[in-house]
Amino acid sequence: MAIREIIILPDKQLRLVSKPVDRVTSEVRKLADDMLETMYDAPGIGLAAIQIAVPLRLITMDLAKRDDDETSVARPRVFINPEIVSKSDELSVYEEGCLSIPEYYEAVERPAKVRFRFLDLDGKTREEDAEGLFATCIQHEIDHLNGVLFVDYLSKLKRDRVMKKFTKFARRAAE
């Protein structure tokens, strides 16, 4: 396993539409391992492959392990080619953040429940229901696979402000 570098806004790769995984090979499993290690190290609760500059439809997640609670047990999840099958009319609001937009949090409204389909690490098709933080997280990560970021749901004013801030950071870091 290896920790990979997470790309940060305004990196244009974050806007790419990721390609489906054809077959769950040992390379795909290795990529998932690297993503989990990178996600735990950050630390974060979800990561899409494009965030380590790999444009494949692969997501890792762990909503159980909390870095503020040493007794919590890791429950790593890997979702390959995930897609939403259905969503509730009911909405819920969560304060979202993103490892590619560090230290920035805003409330986003999304369907409160979703059913989604994916391939597991054995290449088997599965379906699962998600609600609460799980529903928000799976929608946030699937958005990444389509080049969509949570800041896209904010008002133009807020989005312009955060884009400008991160563009300035990047310019300063490059100097």
Encode 93-134 in three state secondary structure. Answer: EEEEEECCEEEEEEEEEEECEEEEEEECCCCCEEEEEEECHH
- Distance, in Å, from the CA atom of 127 to the CA atom of 129, rounded to the nearest integer, reads 7
- Distance, in Å, from the CA atom of 64 to the CA atom of 77, rounded to the nearest integer, reads 10
Identify residue 118 by its one-letter amino acid code. Answer: F
Is residue 98 involved in binding Ni ion (CB under 5 A)?
Answer: yes
Smallest distance from the beta carbon of 149 to Ni ion, in angstroms?
A: 7
Is residue 52 involved in binding Ni ion (CB under 5 A)?
Answer: no
> Which residue has the CB atom at the shortest distance from Ni ion?
98
Question: Which entry of 27, 128, 141, 175 is annotated as an active-site residue?
Answer: 141
- Closer CB to Ni ion, residue 98 or residue 142? 98
Query: What is the pattern of x (binds Ni ion, CB under 5 A) and - over residues 135-164?
Result: ------------------------------
Smallest distance from the beta carbon of 100 to Ni ion, in angstroms?
A: 6
- Distance, in Å, from the CA atom of 105 to the CA atom of 96, rounded to the nearest integer, reads 5
Smallest distance from the beta carbon of 175 to Ni ion, in angstroms?
A: 27
**Is 37 known to be catalytic?**
no
Q: How many CB atoms lie within 10 A of CB 174?
A: 6
Is residue 31 involved in binding Ni ion (CB under 5 A)?
Answer: no
- Distance, in Å, from the CA atom of 16 to the CA atom of 96, rounded to the nearest integer, reads 21
Is residue 47 involved in binding Ni ion (CB under 5 A)?
Answer: no
Which residues contact Ni ion (rule: CB under 5 A)?
98
What amino acid positions are annotated as catalytic residues? 141
